[in-house]
Amino acid sequence: MKAKSIYIVSGLFLLALLFPLIARDPYYKHILNVAFLYAISVYGFNIISGLTGQLNFAHAGFIGIGAYTSAILTSTYGLPVGLAMIIAILVTGFFGLIIGFPALRTRGVYFSLTTLGFGVILFMIFENWIDLTGGPMGLTGIPSFRIPGIDINFGSKTAFYYLCLFFLVIAIYINRELFHSKLGRAMLAVHGNEDLAQSIGISIVRTKIIAFVMATMLLGLSGSLYAHYFHFISPVSFTIHETFHCLTMLVVGGMGTLAGPLIGSVIFTILPEFLRGLAQLQWIIYGVILILCIAFMPEGIVGFIKKKREKS
């Protein structure tokens, strides 16, 4: 890393640490909490779609698996939240494995269509398996995160902010190390050229499945945190609409880049809040901004900045 980027990163991190002290209004903390929850999931999206090049349209469905697993284990079965979170991550990853195995044997657009199907199936399960998921009414009374023996109320926006920041840093670190490791390079190879990747000994199916399991585990983490933050979940949070919202964050931020998912998530969490006052107009403006971004920065904000720098 160059000296300049170390300064930028440490500065941003310091700012992130001090943010709850600067912003007294709980509303601002809430917005960033939501942005960070999105960012964790978009870092998962980045692994399977940005690095490995396989568009996963069941994104929100997997977040849902994490959220429902965590919610059911804690509110219905009374498990400690920390344990439930770990199980939620593992269960989501396990679903990633069993869905990924058939889905990732197909290439390109067929993988996307298969996952689109799975996303719809998952939504149907959330909505119709009423005994387990509460159906359209959802699940309420999900407890807050808690560390045994330590008296911190993670129901508060400030405490949850630091919890979320902690997991976000882990998600970023997981992505960062991929760029410098054999595994991540294999993902980039599969993305770039499957024939060439195979010719030098990279197993396409194995690489894709590892990427998908890693990605879905991050989605499970994001979903679990979501459930314990809002204390309430219902199927409408895990629709295909949410998948596209996250895809927008990834694409506009910069697919396959390290900073892109965070930048995209923050922008597209704050933007709708700014536009909220405009009622119906907000989605039209949102759409126009999205089209402009794609038209003028097809490689996302990070890709755009990189290109500008290369030219100068």
Residues within the interface to other proteins (CB under 8 A): 173-174, 177-178, 180-186, 188-189, 192-193, 195-204
| Phi/psi of residue 139, nearest 5 degrees | -115, 135
Q: How far is the CB of 197 from other proteins (least distance, A)?
A: 8
Q: How far is the CB of 185 from other proteins (least distance, A)?
A: 5
* Alpha carbon separation from 286 to 72, 95, 252, 263, 282 (Å, rounded): 35, 33, 12, 16, 6
Q: Kindly report the length of the chain.
A: 312
Rounded CA separation 77/65 (Å): 16
Is the Cβ of residue 31 or residue 202 nearer to other proteins in the bound state?
A: 202
* Alpha carbon separation from 257 to 42, 52, 107, 294 (Å, rounded): 11, 12, 22, 16
Is the Cβ of residue 10 or residue 198 nearer to other proteins in the bound state?
A: 198
Is the Cβ of residue 179 or residue 232 nearer to other proteins in the bound state?
A: 179
C-alpha closest to that of 238 among 134, 80, 99, 126: 126
Is the Cβ of residue 103 or residue 211 nearer to other proteins in the bound state?
A: 211
Q: How far is the CB of 196 from other proteins (least distance, A)?
A: 5
Q: Is 233 in a helix, a strand, or coil?
A: strand
Rounded CA separation 64/47 (Å): 19
Q: Is 167 in a helix, a strand, or coil?
A: helix
61, containing H or E segment? helix 59-71
Q: How far is the CB of 44 from other proteins (least distance, A)?
A: 16
Is the Cβ of residue 128 or residue 203 nearer to other proteins in the bound state?
A: 203
| Phi/psi of residue 233, nearest 5 degrees | -135, 150
Is the Cβ of residue 33 or residue 52 nearer to other proteins in the bound state?
A: 52
Q: How far is the CB of 163 from other proteins (least distance, A)?
A: 21
Rounded CA separation 309/159 (Å): 38
Q: How far is the CB of 193 from other proteins (least distance, A)?
A: 6
Rounded CA separation 41/297 (Å): 22
Is the Cβ of residue 108 or residue 272 nearer to other proteins in the bound state?
A: 108
Angle (CA) 247-51-253 rounded to 5° is 40
Q: How far is the CB of 30 from other proteins (least distance, A)?
A: 31
Q: Which residue is listed with tokens 């911190």?
A: 152
Q: How far is the CB of 210 from other proteins (least distance, A)?
A: 9
Is the Cβ of residue 100 or residue 235 nearer to other proteins in the bound state?
A: 100
